[in-house]
Every structure is written in C-alpha cells, then in structure tokens.
Amino acid sequence: MFLLVLTYSKPLEEVEPFMTTHMAWVDAQYQNGTFVASGRRVPRTGGIILARATDRASLEAVAATDPFLEAGVAHYDLIEFTLSRTAPGFESLLS
C-alpha cells in the first residue's frame, strides 16, 4: 500500500488550468484499481492519495503521467507501508 502526498510547486492559479485533466487522470486510476481513496489537503497545498501497486517503481511510473507533474506544477512524495489493521468496514483494504 502507498500514500502519495501531492504538493503544489506553483501558485494555485497556475495549478488550476490543469485541474480538469488531473481529475480525469485520477478517475482513470480509480477505474483501473490503483487508487483507493483521495482528497485535497487542508489548507489547499496539494492532495493525498491512498494507492495499491505491486511495487514502488510501477506506482512511480503511474504518478509520472499525472498532468500536474507533466506541467511542472506539482510533485509527489511516495510512502510505502504495510497495512496491518483497519477500522470496521475497511477490511477489504487488507487484501
């Protein structure tokens, strides 16, 4: 399991023009089963994504295709962890 921490490297007004294509990219990652949960950071300095991947390199390759990264307006920090416990109702994340 991975936590992707997205941080804007440009002012929000430079990020906004890429939001529609970024969200289409996010939707595609949900459809293919890579992304599990996501949302905006508060304050709005980027986002957080919970993701599944077979290995770090494959997720790095996916992240590299984010329109935000391609436009140079954000970067990711990838944190790999072993999920060992969940709250009731989230047990499917363990598989």
The confidence band for 74, taking pLDDT boundaries of 50, 70 and 90, is very high
Average of per-residue pLDDT across 48-75: 97
Token pair 């905006």: residue: 40
pLDDT at 93: 85
Domain 2-84, CATH? 3.30.70.1060
Average of per-residue pLDDT across 63-75: 97
Beta strands in 1-95 (DSSP E): 2-8, 35-40, 46-51, 74-80
- Asked if residue 53 lies in contact with residue 62, where contact means CB atoms within 8 angstroms, the answer is yes
pLDDT at 40: 97
Mean pLDDT for the chain overall: 96
